[in-house]
Structure 1
Amino acid sequence: MLYVRTGALAGLSTVAASVVVLSAPPAVALSNGLALTPPMGFNNWNTTQCSNTFNEDMIRSIADLFVSKGLKDAGYQYVNIDDCWAKTSRNSKGELEPDPARFPNGIKALADYVHSKGLKFGIYTSAGTHTCNKLGFPGGLDHETTDAKTFASWGVDYLKYDNCNNQGVDAQTRYKKMRDALAATGRPIVFSICEWGQNQPWTWAQSVGNLWRTTGDISDSYSKMVSIFQKNLPLAQYAKPGAWNDPDMLEVGNGGMTPAEYRSHFSLWAMMAAPLLIGADLRKVSTENYATLLNKDVIAIDQDTLGVQGKQISLSSNKYVLSKPLANGDYAVALFNNNSSAQTISTSASAIGIGSSSSYTLKDLWSKSTRTTTGTISASVPAHETVIYRVSKGVRTPPSAGTHQVSDLSWDTAVSGWGPVEKDRSNGGKSAGDGKTLTINGTTFAKGLGVHAASEITFYIGKACSSFTASVGVDDEVASTKGSVVFQVFADGTKIADSGTLTGASAAKSLSGSIAGADQLRLVVTDAGDGMDSDHSDWGNPTITC
């Protein structure tokens, strides 16, 4: 968050009115293996700030709604708390302590509850002597090691590190100290740099944090949302897997914009590969705005594993065209009408960069309608709305008969139109494959399907495929340590199979489901809440029928 208060920003200049984009090459991304796609979740600040409604009961209810409303299945995983959670002074050991009125059972108990839902927990502090709130909650400056250890001991998975009361200390110095302190705990913690773009963090923060704020705070108005979009949009070259431009949290559902404007907000953030952190009280969000937050087709654009931020390819009379390449060779294109009346917005397959083809398929990700074109991409777009298409070249067909080798969980790119498989996401590890195979309509792919806990494998299958089946199981390591894992299968973001909790006593299960019409199949294995991390949980020879 950003408070502009007398004395709050000691030693810093006023926020620039516009973003200056430098041409220097971006740094190497932070090598903690986290946030390989933009983080998705919740933060309470936009709806509660420091009011009494921000408390333990609220956060528990948000975690419950993640599960019951389908947000978890759609990819949202972080339940984060913001400022005002702590006492206004440290204890005798110099440690932060939670406010007992807001959090009577403590932060660890709250984190444990969130983890019990299969979700992750995030917390907040500032890289200064105090946080941003005027009550003066202690900040992390010169307490980095102590605070990182405290957060790790509580089971924190995500840290938002603000910029208030920084005493004029160099920003890179402050944020690097907390990066190193978090790494020293040994716990995987996503590091969110909330520096507001004051020191152009996009030019240095890739090796420091997993995401960095590029602007001041958002507010729940259409004009503010658009102004932040316009500042973040030119920074595409600095985003990559594990390192994201952050134009601040979502306002969808807070009531200050129309449902159409919220759809634009969500579409533009997805096109910019921005973190999707819900800032609304989910207990009060309307059905229409829930539908926006749960649009799995749009979420898939944001979460695409290629990790490219969409770019502006044209702007005329407040009519924007954005293009974003996707991992399977498709492109997303957004037609955003920043006018007060309906406008026709047009582009072409050539202009968006997808390459030549005799025909293209356009899937409208809001209406769900599909049509074909020889190259023209055009729509009548209502005021303040955004039409977003997924553009595909022709139709993928199954690979030729025979055995195709798979290396390091990445499909051989010579298999035209199929793949690539996303790399294993278990804290940077990869499996050797354990001799597993994938069979598609009688064609066998060798190697590459042994996985770790907290892993995902994604591949692209072609709309001709109709069903999926596989056996799954935990290995001896999980069984011997009494660990537990959950296996799930998603087709275009919709969960089609779930193993439930598997332990050594229930080490194998058959999974199957319909995938008719899907483009993407995602195999997911996660820890079931006990903290165990298996090295060799297996998808046993999955079969795809086309």
Structure 2
Amino acid sequence: MKTKVLLLMLILFLTNEIIAQKFENLAQTPPMGWNSWNSFQCEFVNETVIKEMADAMVEKGLKDAGYEYIVIDDCWQIGRDKNGYIIVDKKKFPSGIKSLANYIHSKGLKFGIYSDAGIKTCAGRPGSKGFDTQDAEMYAKWGVDYLKYDWCFTEGQDAKISYKKMRDALYKTGRPIVFSMCEWGENKPWEWAEDVGHLWRTTLDIDMKGRFDGDIWDNHLGWTTILDMQVGLEKYAGPGHWNDPDMLAVGNNDMPENEARAHFTMWSMLAAPLMAGNDLRNMSVNDQNILTNKELIAINQDVLGKQGFKIEDMGNFEIWQKPLSNGDMAICLFNRETKGKKYQVDWSKIKIKDFSGTYKVKDLWKNKVIGTTDANFTIEIPSRDVVVFRLMK
């Protein structure tokens, strides 16, 4: 009898271990898509907006460039029924979430949704605490492909336990869903979340409003400040498990073209998820060209899955490297000054890792091969801008 009990306990343990995992073979390269929050937040998000963003993603060439997820952020939910199942805000989404997901899927895109590990979402809507199973069931029923899971109103909760609960609930549905952990880096998820989520936020949100000093570039949570916080995290990223420094700010707050180009480049170098947050319907030609630049997207989406890292730091001038497949590498010269900088490129003196032999040098923003690493040259990097090369064997 004792043997049978022990055997049963072993079976139950092994069963739980099998169930307690995330979906594999998802997000093998950093996810690319669009999220509603930066442009529409709670007040303006609705069914029509989401459909029009899906239309624009196709019409503006983002789908062809690799973007695939349309993600509704907060404020699609309004309550729970007597069985604990989430209720959709019918004023904002009169056709329901399943219908909306079907529309997005009909465009050849994937559909994402938002919830929170706490009792309420950041906007005060119902959170998933205590309702992980019911919510996961609904997401699978609706055809959700991606879940952004926030960390508001979680007082007294353990992040590891809370995120594992939703991971397990998603897995039990049988529907592969990318799990995006928006825990803000408070509990260093890069150290423990590889088997929990497919990506995890490393910081609080980018300060989209510039509300502390009026500058989205380098205020206390401007994007360059967040970039600095990624240094040293590269060892934790790879296929299926990515550091997430937050959504792209390109196309928001009248970001100048040079700054937008630098921002997009550095997120590409970081192998960061490329989640646009601008209004795709009326974006400028410059922003469209930046977001769909095939050369930079290829750097971000490289199948080797290596996050870039800083190799030179000269104050407001930095050099970053990103290893690529087939022995290639990306080298980015980043000028953080408010004036242009001339730089003598001497390949033998730059501290490039695993650099050997001769490479062809392609300027990626000019989309032009400019020579080889056997030749040195002087280049000017404009103010708050980048020059990025692909070195090819």
Q: What is the TM-score when the length of structure 1 is the normalising length?
A: 0.64
- How far apart in 2 are the matches of 1:347 and 1:109? 57
Task: Describe how 1:173-252 pairs up with structure 2 within 5 A.
Answer: 173-220=161-208, 221-223=216-218, 224-252=222-250
- How far apart in 2 are the matches of 1:183 and 1:219? 33
Deviation of the 1:222 alpha carbon:
1.2
* Partner residue, 2:367: 368
Structure 1 stretch displaced more, 173-182 or 362-371: 362-371
Quick check: 2:23–2:171 contact (8 Å CA) kept in 1?
Answer: no
1:144 counterpart letter in structure 2: D
- How far apart in 2 are the matches of 1:256 and 1:215? 23
- State yes or no: 1:356 paired with 2:346: no
SS at match of 1:82: coil
Corresponding residue to 1:40 among 26, 32, 36: 32
* Partner residue, 2:98: 108
Deviation of the 1:285 alpha carbon:
0.9
Quick check: 1:213–1:247 contact (8 Å CA) kept in 2?
Answer: yes
Deviation of the 1:275 alpha carbon:
0.1
Deviation of the 1:376 alpha carbon:
4.0
- How far apart in 2 are the matches of 1:317 and 1:112? 50
- How far apart in 1 are the matches of 2:22 and 2:83? 31
* Partner residue, 1:388: 388
Corresponding residue to 1:50 among 20, 42, 62: 42
- State yes or no: 1:64 paired with 2:62: no
Aligned-pair identity (%)? 50
Quick check: 1:30–1:243 contact (8 Å CA) kept in 2?
Answer: no
* Partner residue, 2:143: 155
Q: What is the TM-score when the length of structure 2 is the normalising length?
A: 0.89
Task: Describe how 1:79-94 pairs up with structure 2 within 5 A.
Answer: 79-87=70-78, 89-94=79-84
- Residues 229-275 of structure 1: CA distance to partner in whole angstroms, max 9, x if unpaired? 11123210110100000000001111342111000000000000000
Quick check: 1:330–1:354 contact (8 Å CA) kept in 2?
Answer: no
SS at match of 1:322: strand
* Partner residue, 1:342: 340
Structure 1 alignment gaps of length 5 or more: 1-28, 394-546
- How far apart in 2 are the matches of 1:367 and 1:97? 50
- How far apart in 2 are the matches of 1:122 and 1:34? 14
Structure 1 stretch displaced more, 109-118 or 247-256: 247-256
Corresponding residue to 2:65 among 68, 74, 90: 74
* Partner residue, 1:426: none
- How far apart in 1 are the matches of 2:143 and 2:97? 9
- How far apart in 1 are the matches of 2:82 and 2:194? 36
Deviation of the 1:377 alpha carbon:
7.0
Deviation of the 1:31 alpha carbon:
5.2
Quick check: 1:365–1:390 contact (8 Å CA) kept in 2?
Answer: yes
Q: Highest CA radius of gyration, 1 or 2?
A: 1
Higher relative contact order (CA 8 A, sep 6+): 2
Structure 2 alignment gaps of length 5 or more: 1-20, 209-215
Task: Describe how 1:436-447 pairs up with structure 2 within 5 A.
Answer: none
Quick check: 1:129–1:166 contact (8 Å CA) kept in 2?
Answer: yes
Q: Which has the higher helix share?
A: 2
* Partner residue, 1:482: none
- How far apart in 2 are the matches of 1:267 and 1:347? 22
- How far apart in 2 are the matches of 1:280 and 1:219? 14
